[in-house]
């Protein structure tokens, strides 16, 4: 049985625990005594605890994030009651800041703040040798990236086939955007490029085809960016069907990098481009500085001269930004031809400097994860709720690419923001929700709104929605069908009927 269990809960099965793999890869002499367990947030905490305790560990390390903190709290409470002698260690972004504001952390023995690849193995060595540290809070510091063991060999063949493959070329961010925890980083550090390229080569040899870089600013060091892009381009040129995702600085795309990007075939590159706000005053207020002229020139280049798929981010509720200003930014991105726009609501992440604006701008946040903004001086609660529904609807009706032509029919020559917000209001009133709706049902709702709400001809609407379905390889949906009559319920429930029979 292992002495140490590393565990976490991923948001989805398709995600992989990148941080745990780094810890396991760097356990040194304790690696053979350590096992890693991955779960998903759909599981009951008691079932997770059962699986952990089945290994009879002496130490359990929980990796805590914003999406699993409530479940990790319950798991820690159960472990403490079921195995009082067990040493519980937690780490991750959610427990690296504002520790005194989280009463549940009294249930754990040690808290590793920040990066743990060096601190966690050292802590385990002391614990297993009986030399318990007196301090509960352990500062992970900034490990030397050149000395770290890379975790990529720990991706199993099933991971390569079924899960998102996370990789990184650097850590840290030079920018100080106050909504982001990366603003606390002191500097940007890079992994040794030859070692990294060799690891990527082995992954491709094993069948890896989708790489998602988690670097905050992939195109910061242009020479390194070019070398990594050339590596993937070379493999594509040799017949590998690769898809690579990078997070890019919006206004930093010089000619040399442009020429390289333009050589990638369509569908092989995706750029996540953090716009966040297009209001200069708001950007200055939260230290989000960008040259918007260069940003939109880069978006134009990517849209018209490359096959890059653009995924941009826009945040609603930033200090002092109204719904109208947010909507104007959304309209500008649509006009620039961006394929996906993630409409996020501002969150007050633990430790993020955005908290300094709360009093001046009347910022009120949900006290429970994910700590989303509820209202501000610029956006009242009712409007924030409308924007929340807009975000959900936008993701299902636009970002998935299932109603590309139909949504443009909705917008016509008007504002995409205003038209989609009005549709979200109507759909919520009609269906009681704007997401978790089956595709054909979504098509029917959209068709009804276009005809009843906007007065468009029935034939035009049906033809446009049919074209969207055909473009995605699906047969045209049956629209405007009369609802099926429900069978009348029997007096005795079916289960009881079966027992009686």
User: Are 221 and 302 found together in one domain?
Assistant: yes
Evaluate whether residue 493 is within a structural domain.
no
Q: How many CB atoms lie within 10 A of CB 135?
A: 8
Digitized pLDDT (tens) for each residue of the chain, 501 residues in all = 899 999 999 999 999 999 999 999 999 999 999 999 999 999 999 999 999 999 999 999 999 999 999 999 999 999 999 999 999 999 999 999 999 999 999 999 999 999 999 999 999 999 999 999 989 999 999 999 999 999 999 999 999 999 999 999 999 998 899 999 988 887 899 999 999 999 999 999 999 999 999 998 888 889 999 999 999 999 999 999 999 999 998 999 988 899 999 999 999 999 999 999 999 999 999 999 899 999 999 999 999 999 999 999 999 999 999 999 999 999 999 999 999 999 999 999 999 999 999 999 999 999 999 999 999 999 999 999 999 999 999 999 999 999 999 999 999 989 999 999 999 999 999 999 999 999 999 999 999 999 999 999 999 999 999 999 999 999 999 887 666 665 555 667 777 777 777
User: Are 178 and 308 found together in one domain?
Assistant: yes
User: Are 293 and 414 found together in one domain?
Assistant: no
Evaluate whether residue 471 is within a structural domain.
yes
d(CA 67, CA 368): 11
The CATH code of the domain that includes 332 is: 3.80.30.20
Q: Which of 379, 414, 429 is the last residue of a domain?
A: 379
Evaluate whether residue 496 is within a structural domain.
no
The CATH code of the domain that includes 93 is: 3.40.50.280
d(CA 423, CA 429): 10
Evaluate whether residue 157 is within a structural domain.
no
User: Are 215 and 317 found together in one domain?
Assistant: yes
pLDDT at residue 215 in the model = 93
Strand partners, 6: 36, 61
User: Are 234 and 262 found together in one domain?
Assistant: yes
Q: Which of 320, 352, 379 is the last residue of a domain?
A: 379
Q: How many domains does the chain have?
A: 3
Q: Residues 6 or more apart from 143 whose CB is under 8 A from it? A: 115, 117, 118
User: Are 239 and 369 found together in one domain?
Assistant: yes
pLDDT at residue 490 in the model = 63
User: Are 193 and 329 found together in one domain?
Assistant: yes
Strand partners, 37: 7
Evaluate whether residue 331 is within a structural domain.
yes
Give residue-wise pLDDT tens across range 26-81. 999 999 999 999 999 999 999 999 999 999 999 999 999 999 999 999 999 999 99
User: Are 207 and 258 found together in one domain?
Assistant: yes
Q: How many CB atoms lie within 10 A of CB 57?
A: 24
Q: What percent of the chain has pLDDT over 70?
A: 98
| Distance from chain centroid for Cα 93 | 14
Q: Kindly report the pTM of this predicted structure.
A: 0.92
Q: How many CB atoms lie within 10 A of CB 98?
A: 12
Domain housing 282: 165-379
User: Are 210 and 134 found together in one domain?
Assistant: no
Per-residue burial over 191-222, b = 16 or more CB atoms within 10 Å of its CB, e = otherwise: beeeebeeebeebbeeebeebbbebbbbbbbe
User: Are 77 and 124 found together in one domain?
Assistant: yes
- From residue 98, alpha-carbon distances to 101, 176, 332, 434 in Å are 6, 19, 37, 35
User: Are 181 and 294 found together in one domain?
Assistant: yes
User: Are 43 and 131 found together in one domain?
Assistant: yes
């Amino acid at each position: 049985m292992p002495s140490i269990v590393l565990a976490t809960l991923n948001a989805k099965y398709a995600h992989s625990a990148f941080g745990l793999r780094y810890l396991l890869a760097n356990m040194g002499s304790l690696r053979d005594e350590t096992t890693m367990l991955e779960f998903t947030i759909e599981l009951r905490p008691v079932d997770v605890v059962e699986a952990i305790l089945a290994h009879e560990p002496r130490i359990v390390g929980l990796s805590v994030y914003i999406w699993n903190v409530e479940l990790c709290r319950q798991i820690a409470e159960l472990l403490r009651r079921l195995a009082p002698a067990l040493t519980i260690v937690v780490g991750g972004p959610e427990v690296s800041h504002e520790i005194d504001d989280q009463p549940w952390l009294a249930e754990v023995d040690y808290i590793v703040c920040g990066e743990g690849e060096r601190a966690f193995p050292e802590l385990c060595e002391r614990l297993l040798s009986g030399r318990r540290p007196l301090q509960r809070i352990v500062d992970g510091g900034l490990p030397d990236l050149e000395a770290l063991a890379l975790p990529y060999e720990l991706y199993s063949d099933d991971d390569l086939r079924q899960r998102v493959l996370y990789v990184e070329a650097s850590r840290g961010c030079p920018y100080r955007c106050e909504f982001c925890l990366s603003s606390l980083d002191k500097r940007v550090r890079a992994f040794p490029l030859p070692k990294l390229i060799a690891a990527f080569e082995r992954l491709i040899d094993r069948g890896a085809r989708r790489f998602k870089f988690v670097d905050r600013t992939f195109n910061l060091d242009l020479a390194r960016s070019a070398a990594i892009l050339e590596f993937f381009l070379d493999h594509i040129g040799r017949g590998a069907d690769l898809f690579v995702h990078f997070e890019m600085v919006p206004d930093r795309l010089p000619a040399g990098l442009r020429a390289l990007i333009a050589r990638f075939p369509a569908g092989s590159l995706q750029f996540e481009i953090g716009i966040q706000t297009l209001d200069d005053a708001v950007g200055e207020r939260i230290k989000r500085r960008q040259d918007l002229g260069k940003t939109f020139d880069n978006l134009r280049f990517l849209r018209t001269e490359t096959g890059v798929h653009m995924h941009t981010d826009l945040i609603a509720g930033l200090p002092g930004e109204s719904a109208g200003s947010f909507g104007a930014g959304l309209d500008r991105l649509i006009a620039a031809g961006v394929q996906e726009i993630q409409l996020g609501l501002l969150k007050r992440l633990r430790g993020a400097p955005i908290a300094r604006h709360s009093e001046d701008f009347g910022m009120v946040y949900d006290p429970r994860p994910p700590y989303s903004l509820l209202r501000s001086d610029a956006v009242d609660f009712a409007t924030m709720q409308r924007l929340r529904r807009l975000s959900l609807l936008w993701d299902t009706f636009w970002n998935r690419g299932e109603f590309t032509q139909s949504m443009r029919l909705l917008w016509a020559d008007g504002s995409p923001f205003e038209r989609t917000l009005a549709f979200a209001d109507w759909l919520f009133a009609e269906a009681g929700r704007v997401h978790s709706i089956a595709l054909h049902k979504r098509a029917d709702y959209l068709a009804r709104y276009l005809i009843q709400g906007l007065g468009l001809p029935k034939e035009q609407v049906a033809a446009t929605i049919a074209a969207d379905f055909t473009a995605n390889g699906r047969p045209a949906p049956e629209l405007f069908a009369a609802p099926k009559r429900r069978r009348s319920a029997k007096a005795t429930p079916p289960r009881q009927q079966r027992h009686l029979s």
